[in-house]
């Protein structure tokens, strides 16, 4: 069993940053990643809000630089290795993966998150090319454009309100006849120029290089 001072589960920006700090602090540091380093950030075509890159940088290039920095600091990154179990034995943490078992004095879990996908045709193909899951990150890309927000919860309402101040036209499609969001947010939404499409579901996203149109289904008409 390999022994480490620090094991970090996840090699996204947070995990790689932790790896840099751990290694620079003199800890024998291992970063475990079930895919390749970068996480969701790696799938972003262009990052324009990261300090030091005023001209923008692709998400893949940015996280590659982070991974290189992490390795140069002295951490080891093992990719394509999925962590499946974490236990405590005496004063050691035992991490079991689909390849090996490791022990460490401390473990940092930086496994990140996965955006909730709708699973409709065109969604995966056009992700980062008009399909977005982070309004705050990508909102400026939609300045002066027509956008549609899918959902009826707090996150969807906050996104629609934010985009109303950027986009030329904002529609909110919700599959039910009533929003699930907090009353205060709903009130703020109605104060904006947002057209709510009730009982409406997204069925398909169309486009080639970028999103061009969407197919909606209204369950009442």
| DSSP-derived secondary structure letter, 44 | -
Spatial distance between the Cα atoms of 31 and 9, rounded to a whole number of angstroms: 6
- Contacting residues for 214 by C-beta, under 8 A, at least 6 apart: 148, 202, 204, 205, 206
8 forms bridges with which residues in the sheet? 31, 108
Query: Within 13 Å of residue 47, how many CA atoms lie on the same side as its CB?
Result: 17
Catalytic positions, please? 134, 137-138
Residue 123, Cβ neighbours under 10 Å: how many? 15
């Amino acid at each position: 069993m390999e022994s480490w001072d620090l094991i970090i589960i996840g090699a996204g920006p947070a995990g790689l940053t932790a790896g840099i700090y751990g290694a620079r602090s003199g800890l024998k540091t291992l970063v475990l990643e079930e895919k390749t380093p970068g996480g969701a950030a790696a799938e972003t075509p262009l990052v324009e809000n990261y300090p030091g890159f005023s001209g923008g940088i692709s998400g893949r290039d940015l996280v590659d630089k982070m991974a290189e920095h992490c390795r140069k600091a002295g951490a080891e990154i093992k990719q394509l290795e999925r962590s499946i179990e974490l236990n405590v034995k005496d004063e050691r943490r035992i991490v079991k993966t689909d390849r090996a078992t490791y022990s460490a004095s401390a473990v940092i879990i930086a496994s990140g998150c996965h955006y909730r996908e709708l699973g409709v045709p065109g969604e995966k193909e056009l992700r980062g090319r008009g399909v977005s899951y982070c309004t705050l990150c990508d909102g400026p890309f939609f300045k002066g454009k027509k956008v549609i927000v899918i959902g009826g919860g707090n996150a969807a309402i906050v996104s629609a309100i934010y985009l109303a101040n950027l986009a030329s036209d904002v529609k909110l499609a919700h599959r039910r006849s009533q929003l699930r969001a907090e009353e205060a947010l709903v009130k703020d939404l109605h104060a904006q120029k947002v057209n709510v499409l009730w009982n409406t579901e997204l069925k398909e996203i169309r486009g080639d290089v970028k999103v061009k149109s969407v197919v909606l289904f209204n369950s009442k008409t």
